[in-house]
Amino acid sequence: MSADQTRVALSPDVTRDDVETAAWVMDFFIDHRTDGDKDTPREDVWRTIDEKTWLHEVEDPVTGLRFLVVRGEDRDKHVRRIRKELDTVTHTEALKALKAASSRDDKLEALYQTGIAAPEEPNQRVVSALTKALEGEDDYHLRQAALIAIAYTSWPDFKAAVKTAAEDDESEAVRSTAHGMLKAFK
């Protein structure tokens, strides 16, 4: 995430219509829509009338989850309002869900939400939880999900763990993903 934008994770039960309604209530106007496919996110983009603040709703085809990106002026004010208008997930809530998760599907969702909801600056609890999943989960799907969550953060704190996964993970899929991610750390 760049310094002029903030990502807000949406609860899975928030619909596209819910986001559209919230955007209208907050005086955002639709700018454009981009259809996605299995490799490309779907994105709806709204803007304020003065075009100083933009709101992007993104549906990630990899995680199956949706989030908002607010960029431009008055970001913090708009993020606070979004959190009042819509059911969102903070990194703290995602970490609690990860700790409580018992099924693979619940763990996958919580891992993804942890990465999507991660704050802009590195957070030790997030780093610890995602590193633990990457290094300690027996199920390679969960290790792969940890990598995807790590990619959302863009934090250099994960470089050593990602390098280890690229070199030593028993799953070719995990090694391949980790290897590709190492380029982003350089």
Work out the mean pLDDT of the chain and round it to a whole number: 95
The order of strands in the sheet holding 88-89 is: 29-34, 42-47, 53-59, 66-72, 5-10, 88-89
Indicate the pTM of the whole model.
0.94
pLDDT given at position 136: 96
Does 59 share its domain with 16? yes
Model confidence at 1: pLDDT above 70:
no
pLDDT classification of 185: cutoffs 50, 70, 90: confident
pLDDT classification of 59: cutoffs 50, 70, 90: very high
Residue ending a domain, among 89, 122, 140, is 89
Residue ending a domain, among 89, 108, 128, is 89
Domain count, the chain: 2
Model confidence at 35: pLDDT above 80:
yes
Does 24 share its domain with 106? no
Model pLDDT for residues 76-120, shown as the tens digit of each residue: 999 999 999 999 999 999 999 999 999 999 999 999 999 999 999
pLDDT given at position 184: 83
Does 84 share its domain with 95? no
- Mean per-residue pLDDT, 13-38: 95
Does 79 share its domain with 132? no
- Mean per-residue pLDDT, 22-46: 95
Does 116 share its domain with 133? yes
Does 63 share its domain with 137? no
Does 105 share its domain with 176? yes
Does 24 share its domain with 78? yes
Residue ending a domain, among 89, 106, 138, is 89
Residue 61: closest CA among 44, 43, 42, 45 = 42
CATH number of the domain within which 131 lies: 1.25.10.10
CATH number of the domain within which 60 lies: 3.30.160
Does 96 share its domain with 84? no
Domain containing residue 102: 91-185
Model pLDDT for residues 141-177, shown as the tens digit of each residue: 999 999 999 999 989 999 999 999 999 999 999 999 9
Give the span between the Cα atoms of 154 and 158, in whole angstroms: 9
Does 106 share its domain with 75? no
pLDDT given at position 142: 98
Does 148 share its domain with 83? no
Tell me the pairing of strands 66-72 and 88-89: unpaired
- Mean per-residue pLDDT, 130-137: 98
